[in-house]
Every structure is written in C-alpha cells, then in structure tokens.
Amino acid sequence: MNSETNRQSVLTLLPGFNCGACGEKRCEAFAQKLSRGQARIDQCPHMAQERFSQNRTSLEQLLVKPEGETARAEIGLIDGYQADFELLPLPGEPSCREVLFPFSRAALQAGDIIRYRPLGCPMIHFAKIIEEAHGLITVHMIGPRNRVDAGGEFSFQDIGVCLVGGFEGIVEGPHPFVGQTVRFLPRHCMMRKVHSGVVVQMVGDRAIIEGIDLKVWAPPV
C-alpha cells in the first residue's frame, strides 16, 4: 500500500469532525501523520467513544507495520540512547530556540552574540540572543565551533556557564503529550546527544520542553 492510499484509508476511519482536538486543523492532516507514524490514535478523543470502537480496531490493524519493518528512531552518537523524536527549528529559523539561565551578571540584550558553555556539556556554544526577559535569555545557536566572518573574527560576549532551561521547536516523529517526560535529540546538536525534559506545551507539531537534563536514564525493564 503506497503512502497516499494508506492516508486515504486512515482518513475514512477517522470521525471527520475537523475539531482540532488532536492538534491539527483538519482530520486529513491528522490522518497523514498517523500514516507516517508521527501521531497516536489516542490524540483524537473521539476515537475513545463506543460508537467509533470498530473504526479504532480497524485503524490499529491498518497502522501495524509489516514484520521486519521498524519505525524511524534517532540514536544519540555519544551514549547510544534512543530518542523519542528529533526536535527541529521553527519554520524559517536556524536552530531550535533555547532558554538559558546565565550565571553571569553581564548586561545582555536582544541581538547580542554570546559564547558560553551549557552546564553539563563539554562543548563551547555560540548563540544570538533573540529575547531577554527578567534575566532569562532565548537564543538561536549559531555554532559550537569557532566562527569567522569574512572580515575576521566576529565580536561576542563570553558569559561562561549557563543552565539550559528549555527548548522550543518542531517535533519530527511521534507526538508527545503535555506532561510527558521525553528523550529528544535537538537537530542542531553537533554531539548528537540525547536530551531529556518535560513537555509543557504542544500546539500541532510545535513543542516547548522544559526541565532539560543531559542525564538520560534507561527505562525500567
């Protein structure tokens, strides 16, 4: 079954209310994500109703992958953990957004370029501040590696160690639910290290994850 046929088959089994409860504006978009393994059936609250029980059973059978076929999984290169999903930049942006808690008392503002090291990470990062509020800064990564402009080295403030408080980006893979503790791999992470955190907001594909930790524990057997 090709992807278009699969999407249409999934769509015929959905309620068709286009209510947006799943996070998508239309059932067609939700069907496409289900067929790609990027969403869960229970994201549609109507599928839990008795009148759709037969449709749900048919949908579960339809979405079972053939034997030997596995879902796409991201594996961290540093420690080999499997991520639940990869976090991509928001449309038109160079990297996922990160919220930082600087330990430095340096005066910072939007537009500043900073050099820092995230607490728990051995890599030096460069970032551009896109927002400053009450001592917290939201940044885009512009490179862990040393950057040199055409005219020579660019100017930056070295602010030392920062605590990474949160990430914001687009989920590529199965959608998590709000309150879920997840393992994720930021697309811009050059070390390809899996991070963990708690999902505090999901709007469509767009996620905000807080309580960031580079320590990722294996799940209980």
pTM of the model: 0.65
Residues 102 and 208 in one domain: yes
Domain that holds residue 41: 3-62
**Residue 59, both tokens:** 């949908």
* Residue at 205 is within a domain: yes
Mean pLDDT of the 23-27 span = 86
69 located within any domain = no
Q: Identify which of 58-62, 143-147, 176-180 has the greatest average pLDDT.
A: 176-180
pLDDT at 5: 54
pLDDT, average across residues 96-115: 94
Same domain, 48 and 101: no
Are 94 and 167 contained in the same domain?
yes
Give residue 152's pLDDT. 47
CATH code for position 46: 1.10.15.40
Are residue 117 and residue 32 in the same domain, yes or no?
Answer: no
Amino acid at 93: E
Q: Is residue 46 part of a domain?
A: yes
Cβ atoms of residues 195 and 169 within 8 Å:
no
> Is the same domain home to 121 and 207?
yes
- 145 and 92 in a common domain: yes
The domain boundary, picked from 23, 40, 62, lies at: 62
Same domain, 93 and 199: yes
Judged against a pLDDT cut of 70, whether residue 150 lies above it is answered with no
Average pLDDT over residues 27-44: 83
Residue 68 within a domain? no
The confidence score (pLDDT) of residue 76 equals: 67
For residue 50, being part of any structural domain is answered with yes
- 95 within 8 A of 72, measured Cβ to Cβ: no
Q: Using the predicted structure, report yes or no on whether residue 134 has a pLDDT greater than 60.
A: yes
Q: How far apart are CA 154 and CA 70, in angstroms?
A: 45
Residues 6+ apart with CB under 8 A from 213: 120, 195, 196, 197
pLDDT at 145: 53
Per-chain mean pLDDT for the chain = 84
Q: How many domains does the chain have?
A: 2
Do residues 90 and 170 share a domain?
A: yes
10 has pLDDT over 50: yes
Are 46 and 128 contained in the same domain? Answer: no
Residue 28 in domain: yes
pLDDT digits (tens, 9 = 90+) for 51-88: 999 998 899 888 875 544 444 445 666 777 888 899 99
Over the chain, what HEC string results?
A: CCHHHHHHHHHHHCCCCCCCCCCCCCHHHHHHHHHCCCCCHHHCHHHHCHHHHHHHHHHHHHCCCCCCCCCCCEECCCCCCEECEEEECCCCCCCCEEEEEECCCCCCCCCCEEEEEECCCCCCEEEEEEEEECCEEEEEEEECCCCEECCEECCCEEEEEEEEEEEEEEEECCCCCCCCEEEEEECCCCCCCCEEEEEEEEECCEEEEEEEECCCCCCCC
Domain shared by 78 and 29, yes or no: no
**Pair 97, 53 in one domain:** no
pLDDT at 166 over 80: yes
Does any domain span residue 18? Answer: yes
- The amino acid at residue 198 is V
More confident residue, 4 or 99: 99
Are 127 and 204 part of one and the same domain? yes
In a domain, 218, yes or no: no
pLDDT on residue 154:
66
Residue 146 predicted with pLDDT over 60: no
